Structure 1
Amino acid sequence: MQIDLSGKTALVTGSTAGIGLAIASGLANAGAQVTITGRRQDKLDNALASIEQTSGRTDIRGIVADPGTAEGCQALTGACPDVDILVNNLGIYGAQPFFDIADDDWDHILEVNVMSAVRLARHYARGMADRGWGRIQFISSESALNIPSEMVHYGVSKAALQGLSRGLAKVLAGTGVTVNTILPGPTRTEGAVAMLQEMASERGVSMAEMETLFLEENRPSTLIKRFADPVEVASLCVYAASPQASATTGSALRVEGGIVESIA
């Protein structure tokens, strides 16, 4: 299959590292003119250099903004008023006992993980519908279906994205705009590696042993028995953004290594 996104513009939030950076690189490699976002200029510059090196593209754009706030979303849409492909990748997570999750913690994770996606989708979907073509993706998680007891608020925020995606797909029915969620499982991002390194140090085991232990203890139903690579997640995102995926909408597309105990 040859995916060609030439002539299309794309915006990927939270894209200076990890899954977001891999998605931006994948879209650029497929021919899209990509805009990435980050809160720090130095990280943005590093990400731009990485994408340009892997894709050979020199038209990649970076915008310093924090879409995790209403003001940041407004600044971003002002600097980038229209796109054909929107990937809402921005998200935060962190283990926290349920009884210690204060109202402010709930507000913060919902503001960043859910409301950033709501605001950007609300802005960009109108133009996509007017033009009769568009792709909106929400990067959710298998934690939306398997709510983790160690971070209930995170799982709830990702479950909210599932509802948002399905509802927006109905709103945009017949417009030529597709809306889907992508559900990664444990993925070897910089944040995940740092977490595993800390856990390995605490338990006196190697990184490889810690990865195995983490999956056995926290995601025992995994079928691939390993963390995914960000590129593996990005590959599904690039397909979902392609013309070939025009009949796929309102769906939860899983790239979680078979963790979810369901065949539907």
Structure 2
Amino acid sequence: MDLQLTNKLALVTGSTAGIGLAIARRLAAEGARVIITGRTEARLAEARAAILQETPQAEVRGVAVDFGQADEVTNLLKEVPRVDILVNNVGIFEPKPFAEIPDEDWLRFFEVNVLSGVRLARQYFPLMLAQNWGRILFISSESALQIPQEMIHYGTTKTAQLAVARGLAELTAGTAVTVNSVLPGPTASEGVEEFLKKLAGDGKTREEAEADFFAHARPSSLLKRFITPEEIANMVAYLSSPLAAATNGASVLVDGGVVRSI
């Protein structure tokens, strides 16, 4: 299937590993010109090399930015003044008991997980409306719908992303611009692999640790395994394309059936 993304300019935040890198690779493979972001030049170089190894003809460049710093986001916007596709993927998470989460953590989580996307959309969204085409995607989480008790602050920011996305979508009525959220379930990211290694260190194999996780931590999963970043990227690539014109203001689950809803 041709997703008709050739020469579209896409910015993917937090894209040197995991879901973000998988999205950047998929968009590049579809012919999009891709801008990746990360906190260090070294990670950006590694990610760019990985994309070019898979798609040698890809046009991809990196911009170093810490999305927890407003001035660095401002510099990114100056360097990348417009895009056709914005994928707000950057995010942080950290398990912590609710009573031990200080104001500083709440503010830090909102700064990175919510305001990063708001700041970028504030510049790019009006330009998309003016050209009458564009795609904005917020990579949220199933935790937006089922707030995890071990990181309530994280889940709250993921819910806030859904609200921002839906609000922006309301402003697109009658245009060819869409704004959607993608809600991954438990995904085999770098952090998850480290988590499984720790469990395996307790005498379990990786496979046993994964089975134990889905038996006790995510028993509602129908997939019964961690989702791959590539499986998330496939959905994002479709929603980024002209073929997805009729999907707007949606919260699209790619969660392996964890969320029990109709």
Match of 1:150 in 2: 150
Task: Specify the SS of the correspondent of 1:19.
Answer: helix
Matched to 1:98, the amino acid is F
Structure 1: which 5+ runs fail to align?
A: none
- Matched position secondary structure for 2:10: strand
- Please name the residue that 2:30 is paired with: 30
Give the match's secondary structure for 1:150. Answer: coil
For each residue in 1:225-252, what CA deviation from the matched residue of structure 2 results, as whole angstroms up to 9, or x when unmatched? 0001100000000000011001100000
Deviations 1:144-175 (A, max 9, x none): 00110011111000000011110010022222
Amino acid at match of 1:144: A
Q: CA RMSD in A?
A: 1.0
Offset from partner CA, 1:200-255 (integer Å, 9 cap, x none): 32x32111111111122211100010001100000000000011001100000110
The Cα shift of 1:57 comes to 2.5
1:85 and 1:68 map into 2 onto residues whose CA distance is 22
Q: Deviation string for 1:85-111 (max 9, x for gaps)?
A: 000000001111111111111111111
> Offset at 1:58?
4.2
Q: 1:149 aligns to what SS in structure 2?
A: coil
**Paired residues, number:** 262
What SS does the aligned partner of 1:182 have?
Answer: strand
Q: For residues 1-264 of structure 1, what are the structure 2 equivalents within 5 Å? A: 1-201=1-201, 203-263=202-262
**Mean Cα deviation higher: 159-168 or 52-61:** 52-61
The two structures have a TM-score, normalised by structure 2, of 0.98
- The runs of 5 or more residues in structure 2 that have no matched partner are none
Identity %: 51
With 164-173 and 229-238 compared, the bigger mean Cα shift is at: 164-173
CA distance in 1, matches of 2:58, 2:222: 39
3-state SS of paired residue (1:159): helix
Q: CA deviation at 1:73?
A: 1.2
Letter of the 1:262 partner, please give it. Answer: S
Q: Distance in 2 between matches of 1:219 and 1:122?
A: 36
Taking the aligned partners of 2:60 and 2:169, their CA distance within structure 1 comes to 28
Alignment partners' CA distance in 2, 1:156 and 1:10: 27
Counterpart of 2:234 in structure 1: which amino acid?
Answer: S
Q: Give, in angstroms, the shift of residue 72 of structure 1.
A: 1.8
Which amino acid in the other structure matches residue 191 of structure 2? Answer: G
CA distance in 2, matches of 1:121, 1:199: 39
TM-score of the two chains, using structure 1 as the length reference: 0.97
